Amino acid sequence: MKVIMSLLFFDMAFWFYLATMILYIGYWIIKKEWLGQASTVLAIISTFAIFMMLIFRTKESGHAPFSNLYESMSFFVWIISIAYLVIEFRYKIKVVGAFVMSIAFIAMLATSMLPYRFQDIQPLNPALQSIWFELHVFSAFIGYAGFGLALGMAVMYLIKARFEESKTSHFLIDRLPPSAILDELSYKSVAWGFVFFTMGALILGAVWANKAWGTYWSWDPKETWSLITWFVYAAYLHARVTRGWRGKKAAYVAIFGFLSTVFLYWGVSFVLPGLHTYASQ
Protein backbone atom coordinates (compact mmCIF):
# COMPACT_ATOMS: atom_id res chain seq x y z
CA MET A 1 0.00 0.00 0.00
CA LYS A 2 1.13 3.52 -0.69
CA VAL A 3 2.26 5.47 2.33
CA ILE A 4 4.05 8.35 0.68
CA MET A 5 2.22 11.39 2.03
CA SER A 6 2.17 10.29 5.66
CA LEU A 7 5.91 9.52 5.61
CA LEU A 8 6.54 12.90 4.04
CA PHE A 9 4.57 14.70 6.72
CA PHE A 10 6.23 12.66 9.42
CA ASP A 11 9.67 13.68 8.19
CA MET A 12 8.58 17.30 8.01
CA ALA A 13 7.14 17.14 11.50
CA PHE A 14 10.34 15.57 12.76
CA TRP A 15 12.42 18.59 11.72
CA PHE A 16 9.75 21.03 12.88
CA TYR A 17 9.76 19.44 16.31
CA LEU A 18 13.53 19.58 16.47
CA ALA A 19 13.40 23.29 15.63
CA THR A 20 10.56 23.90 18.09
CA MET A 21 12.50 22.28 20.89
CA ILE A 22 15.61 24.31 20.10
CA LEU A 23 13.63 27.56 19.97
CA TYR A 24 11.92 26.93 23.31
CA ILE A 25 15.22 26.08 24.94
CA GLY A 26 16.70 29.18 23.33
CA TYR A 27 13.84 31.25 24.69
CA TRP A 28 14.41 29.80 28.13
CA ILE A 29 18.10 30.78 27.99
CA ILE A 30 18.03 34.24 26.42
CA LYS A 31 14.40 35.19 27.13
CA LYS A 32 13.85 37.32 24.07
CA GLU A 33 10.19 38.05 23.36
CA TRP A 34 10.48 37.46 19.60
CA LEU A 35 12.02 34.07 20.28
CA GLY A 36 9.08 33.14 22.48
CA GLN A 37 6.63 34.13 19.76
CA ALA A 38 8.58 32.21 17.15
CA SER A 39 8.56 29.16 19.43
CA THR A 40 4.80 29.26 19.74
CA VAL A 41 4.30 29.67 16.00
CA LEU A 42 6.64 26.78 15.30
CA ALA A 43 4.91 24.63 17.91
CA ILE A 44 1.61 25.24 16.12
CA ILE A 45 3.17 24.38 12.77
CA SER A 46 4.67 21.18 14.17
CA THR A 47 1.35 20.19 15.69
CA PHE A 48 -0.30 20.80 12.35
CA ALA A 49 2.32 18.78 10.48
CA ILE A 50 1.90 15.73 12.70
CA PHE A 51 -1.87 16.16 12.43
CA MET A 52 -1.58 16.04 8.64
CA MET A 53 0.56 12.95 8.98
CA LEU A 54 -2.22 11.30 10.95
CA ILE A 55 -4.86 12.38 8.45
CA PHE A 56 -2.94 10.94 5.51
CA ARG A 57 -2.14 7.82 7.44
CA THR A 58 -5.85 7.29 8.04
CA LYS A 59 -6.60 7.84 4.38
CA GLU A 60 -3.84 5.53 3.22
CA SER A 61 -4.63 2.69 5.58
CA GLY A 62 -8.41 3.02 5.79
CA HIS A 63 -8.40 2.71 9.57
CA ALA A 64 -7.72 4.90 12.59
CA PRO A 65 -4.02 5.69 12.90
CA PHE A 66 -3.12 3.71 15.97
CA SER A 67 -2.68 0.14 14.89
CA ASN A 68 1.06 0.03 15.52
CA LEU A 69 3.80 1.86 17.42
CA TYR A 70 4.67 4.18 14.57
CA GLU A 71 1.12 5.45 14.29
CA SER A 72 0.31 5.58 17.98
CA MET A 73 3.53 7.41 18.87
CA SER A 74 2.69 10.07 16.31
CA PHE A 75 -0.75 10.33 17.84
CA PHE A 76 0.83 10.72 21.28
CA VAL A 77 3.01 13.55 20.01
CA TRP A 78 0.00 15.27 18.52
CA ILE A 79 -2.06 15.06 21.72
CA ILE A 80 0.75 16.20 24.00
CA SER A 81 1.38 19.17 21.70
CA ILE A 82 -2.24 20.24 21.78
CA ALA A 83 -2.36 19.86 25.55
CA TYR A 84 0.80 21.91 25.89
CA LEU A 85 -0.53 24.69 23.66
CA VAL A 86 -3.71 24.84 25.77
CA ILE A 87 -1.58 25.23 28.91
CA GLU A 88 0.57 27.86 27.29
CA PHE A 89 -2.44 29.95 26.37
CA ARG A 90 -4.18 29.50 29.69
CA TYR A 91 -1.25 29.95 32.01
CA LYS A 92 0.99 32.10 29.82
CA ILE A 93 4.16 30.26 30.78
CA LYS A 94 6.40 29.46 27.87
CA VAL A 95 9.47 28.19 29.65
CA VAL A 96 7.60 24.96 30.30
CA GLY A 97 7.67 24.44 26.54
CA ALA A 98 11.38 23.69 26.68
CA PHE A 99 10.60 20.60 28.73
CA VAL A 100 7.41 19.50 27.02
CA MET A 101 8.73 19.99 23.50
CA SER A 102 11.80 17.99 24.49
CA ILE A 103 9.51 15.13 25.46
CA ALA A 104 7.66 15.50 22.16
CA PHE A 105 10.89 15.53 20.19
CA ILE A 106 12.29 12.51 22.03
CA ALA A 107 9.06 10.71 21.14
CA MET A 108 9.51 11.70 17.48
CA LEU A 109 13.10 10.51 17.59
CA ALA A 110 12.13 7.17 19.11
CA THR A 111 9.41 6.77 16.49
CA SER A 112 11.76 7.52 13.63
CA MET A 113 14.15 4.87 14.91
CA LEU A 114 11.54 2.11 14.84
CA PRO A 115 12.31 -0.72 12.43
CA TYR A 116 11.15 0.03 8.90
CA ARG A 117 8.32 -2.52 8.93
CA PHE A 118 6.38 -0.29 11.35
CA GLN A 119 6.18 2.45 8.78
CA ASP A 120 4.42 0.15 6.39
CA ILE A 121 0.67 -0.18 6.68
CA GLN A 122 -0.54 -3.42 8.21
CA PRO A 123 -4.07 -4.61 7.56
CA LEU A 124 -5.98 -4.97 10.82
CA ASN A 125 -6.13 -8.46 12.24
CA PRO A 126 -9.61 -9.71 13.21
CA ALA A 127 -9.40 -8.69 16.87
CA LEU A 128 -8.51 -5.09 16.06
CA GLN A 129 -11.51 -4.51 13.83
CA SER A 130 -13.70 -2.90 16.42
CA ILE A 131 -14.84 0.60 17.26
CA TRP A 132 -14.06 -0.29 20.88
CA PHE A 133 -10.46 -0.89 19.98
CA GLU A 134 -10.24 2.54 18.37
CA LEU A 135 -11.90 4.32 21.28
CA HIS A 136 -9.71 2.34 23.67
CA VAL A 137 -6.46 3.45 22.09
CA PHE A 138 -7.66 6.98 21.43
CA SER A 139 -8.56 7.57 25.06
CA ALA A 140 -5.57 5.70 26.49
CA PHE A 141 -3.21 7.88 24.49
CA ILE A 142 -4.75 11.06 25.77
CA GLY A 143 -4.00 9.53 29.16
CA TYR A 144 -0.38 8.87 28.18
CA ALA A 145 -0.06 12.46 27.01
CA GLY A 146 -1.39 13.74 30.32
CA PHE A 147 1.15 11.60 32.15
CA GLY A 148 3.90 12.83 29.84
CA LEU A 149 3.03 16.43 30.67
CA ALA A 150 2.95 15.59 34.36
CA LEU A 151 6.45 14.15 34.05
CA GLY A 152 7.74 17.42 32.61
CA MET A 153 6.02 19.42 35.35
CA ALA A 154 7.23 17.12 38.13
CA VAL A 155 10.85 17.32 36.98
CA MET A 156 10.65 21.12 36.81
CA TYR A 157 8.96 21.17 40.18
CA LEU A 158 11.75 19.21 41.82
CA ILE A 159 14.44 21.44 40.36
CA LYS A 160 12.59 24.63 41.20
CA ALA A 161 11.60 23.56 44.70
CA ARG A 162 15.20 22.69 45.52
CA PHE A 163 16.38 26.16 44.52
CA GLU A 164 13.51 27.89 46.30
CA GLU A 165 14.26 26.02 49.49
CA SER A 166 17.94 26.77 49.54
CA LYS A 167 17.16 30.32 48.37
CA THR A 168 19.88 30.02 45.74
CA SER A 169 19.54 31.69 42.44
CA HIS A 170 20.40 30.73 38.92
CA PHE A 171 19.08 32.65 35.94
CA LEU A 172 17.78 29.50 34.21
CA ILE A 173 15.99 28.25 37.29
CA ASP A 174 14.62 31.67 38.16
CA ARG A 175 12.82 31.71 34.83
CA LEU A 176 10.85 28.60 35.68
CA PRO A 177 7.38 29.28 37.08
CA PRO A 178 7.05 29.16 40.90
CA SER A 179 7.01 25.63 42.28
CA ALA A 180 3.42 26.03 43.48
CA ILE A 181 2.26 26.55 39.90
CA LEU A 182 4.33 23.62 38.65
CA ASP A 183 2.84 21.45 41.35
CA GLU A 184 -0.65 22.45 40.36
CA LEU A 185 0.04 21.90 36.67
CA SER A 186 1.51 18.51 37.43
CA TYR A 187 -1.62 17.63 39.38
CA LYS A 188 -3.91 18.87 36.61
CA SER A 189 -2.00 16.89 34.01
CA VAL A 190 -2.27 13.74 36.09
CA ALA A 191 -5.97 14.41 36.68
CA TRP A 192 -6.71 14.68 32.95
CA GLY A 193 -4.40 11.81 32.23
CA PHE A 194 -5.94 9.66 34.93
CA VAL A 195 -9.49 10.20 33.67
CA PHE A 196 -8.67 9.35 30.06
CA PHE A 197 -6.30 6.57 31.00
CA THR A 198 -8.92 4.94 33.21
CA MET A 199 -11.59 5.31 30.54
CA GLY A 200 -9.32 4.22 27.71
CA ALA A 201 -6.82 1.72 28.97
CA LEU A 202 -8.96 0.11 31.63
CA ILE A 203 -12.67 0.56 30.95
CA LEU A 204 -12.83 0.68 27.14
CA GLY A 205 -10.05 -1.89 26.99
CA ALA A 206 -12.20 -4.15 29.14
CA VAL A 207 -15.26 -3.53 26.96
CA TRP A 208 -13.23 -4.42 23.88
CA ALA A 209 -11.71 -7.51 25.47
CA ASN A 210 -15.18 -8.61 26.52
CA LYS A 211 -16.40 -8.29 22.93
CA ALA A 212 -13.43 -9.98 21.38
CA TRP A 213 -12.44 -12.67 23.86
CA GLY A 214 -15.37 -13.00 26.19
CA THR A 215 -13.66 -11.73 29.34
CA TYR A 216 -13.23 -8.17 30.39
CA TRP A 217 -10.07 -9.01 32.26
CA SER A 218 -7.54 -11.78 31.78
CA TRP A 219 -4.36 -10.57 33.51
CA ASP A 220 -2.47 -10.43 30.27
CA PRO A 221 0.81 -8.50 30.78
CA LYS A 222 -0.41 -5.38 29.02
CA GLU A 223 -3.58 -5.28 31.08
CA THR A 224 -1.62 -5.91 34.23
CA TRP A 225 0.82 -3.13 33.48
CA SER A 226 -2.08 -0.74 32.85
CA LEU A 227 -3.33 -1.64 36.28
CA ILE A 228 0.14 -1.16 37.80
CA THR A 229 0.38 2.26 36.19
CA TRP A 230 -3.10 3.06 37.42
CA PHE A 231 -2.14 2.09 40.99
CA VAL A 232 0.89 4.36 40.82
CA TYR A 233 -1.13 7.38 39.68
CA ALA A 234 -3.86 6.62 42.22
CA ALA A 235 -1.05 6.69 44.78
CA TYR A 236 0.04 10.06 43.36
CA LEU A 237 -3.45 11.50 43.84
CA HIS A 238 -3.59 10.28 47.41
CA ALA A 239 -0.01 11.30 48.17
CA ARG A 240 -1.09 14.84 47.46
CA VAL A 241 -3.65 14.75 50.26
CA THR A 242 -1.36 12.91 52.67
CA ARG A 243 0.66 14.84 55.18
CA GLY A 244 4.35 14.20 54.64
CA TRP A 245 3.83 13.09 51.06
CA ARG A 246 2.63 16.19 49.26
CA GLY A 247 5.22 18.12 47.31
CA LYS A 248 8.46 16.36 46.57
CA LYS A 249 7.49 12.79 47.29
CA ALA A 250 4.36 13.18 45.18
CA ALA A 251 6.51 14.52 42.34
CA TYR A 252 8.70 11.43 42.53
CA VAL A 253 5.59 9.28 42.33
CA ALA A 254 4.59 11.13 39.14
CA ILE A 255 8.02 10.40 37.65
CA PHE A 256 7.75 6.79 38.71
CA GLY A 257 4.31 6.68 37.12
CA PHE A 258 5.69 7.82 33.80
CA LEU A 259 8.39 5.17 33.88
CA SER A 260 5.62 2.66 34.38
CA THR A 261 3.73 4.22 31.46
CA VAL A 262 6.76 3.92 29.20
CA PHE A 263 7.20 0.30 30.15
CA LEU A 264 3.49 -0.32 29.63
CA TYR A 265 3.75 1.17 26.19
CA TRP A 266 7.12 -0.07 24.94
CA GLY A 267 8.45 -2.60 27.40
CA VAL A 268 5.42 -4.86 27.43
CA SER A 269 5.21 -5.00 23.64
CA PHE A 270 8.85 -5.96 23.26
CA VAL A 271 9.70 -7.78 26.47
CA LEU A 272 6.61 -9.60 27.73
CA PRO A 273 4.32 -11.85 25.68
CA GLY A 274 0.55 -11.43 25.57
CA LEU A 275 -2.56 -10.50 23.64
CA HIS A 276 -1.26 -7.09 22.78
CA THR A 277 1.83 -8.26 20.97
CA TYR A 278 0.24 -6.99 17.77
CA ALA A 279 2.47 -4.02 18.30
CA SER A 280 5.59 -6.10 17.84
CA GLN A 281 4.45 -8.17 14.90
Partner 1 sequence: MTTSDKDPIHIIIGNKIWGLFGSLKFTLFILFSLAVFSIIGTVIQQNQPPAFYTMEYGKWASLILRLGLEDMYHARWFSTLLVFLIVNIVVCTIDRFPPKWKSTFESKVDVDARFIKNLLNNHTIILNDEPALARERIMNVLRSKRYKIKEANNAGGMSIYAWKGMIGRFGSDVVHVSLLLILAGVIIGSIVGFKDFGAFYEGEVTTIPVSEFQFGIDSSWHGIPLPKIQRYRKASDIQLRLDKFWIDYYETGQTKQYNSILTVSDNGKEVIKGKQIWVNAPLHYKGLTFYQSSYGMAYDKVKQAEFVLKNSKSGKAIAPFFTADWNTPFDIPGTDYRIRIVGFVSDFAFDPATKTIFPKSAEHNNPAINVEIYKAGKLVSRPWLFYNYTDLFAAIPGSDYELVFQRYQGILYTGLSINKDPGTTVVWAGSVLMVVGFFMAFFIFHKKIWINVKRNGNETEVYVGGMINKNKFIFERELSEIAESIKSDISGGVRK
Of 71, 89, 86, 98, the residue nearest 17 (C-alpha): 98
Distance CA 206, CA 125 (A): 18
For the CA atoms of 270, 276, 62, 64, what is the dihedral angle to 10 degrees?
-90
Q: Which of 55, 85, 93, 237 binds ligand HEM (CB under 6 A)?
A: 237
234 touches partner 1 by CB under 8 A: yes
Instruction: Name, in order, each residue with C-beta under 8 angstroms of 114's C-beta and a sequence gap of 6 or more.
Output: 69, 70, 73
If one asks whether residue 181 binds ligand HEM (CB under 6 A), the answer comes out as: no
Q: For 18, phi and psi rounded to 5 degrees? A: -60, -45
User: In the set 32, 90, 162, 238, which binds ligand HEM (CB under 6 A)?
Assistant: 238
CB atoms within 10 A of CB 113: 7
Amino acid at 87: I
Contact call for residue 235 and partner 1 (CB under 8 A): yes
Convert residues 61-100 into a mask of x (bound to partner 1 by CB under 8 A) and - (unbound). -----------------------------xx---------
Site for partner 1 in 201-230 (CB under 8 A): 203, 206-208, 210-217, 219, 221, 224-225, 227-228
Query: Smallest gap, in angstroms, from Cβ of residue 221 to partner 1?
Result: 5
The DSSP-derived string for 105-153 is HHHHHHHHTS-GGGTSPPPPPGGG-SHHHHHHHHHHHHHHHHHHHHHHH
Among 106, 234, 272, 275, binds ligand HEM (CB under 6 A): 234
Partner whose footprint covers residue 200, from partner 1, ligand HEM, none (CB < 5 to 8 Å by kind):
none
Site membership for partner 1, residue 117 (CB under 8 A): no
Task: Out of 126, 241, 243, 244, point to the residue binding ligand HEM (CB under 6 A).
Answer: 241
Report in angstroms how near the CB of residue 60 gets to ligand HEM at its nearest: 40
Sign for the CA dihedral angle at 182, 187, 192, 193 comes to positive
**Residues lying near ligand HEM in the complex (CB under 6 A):** 234, 237-238, 241
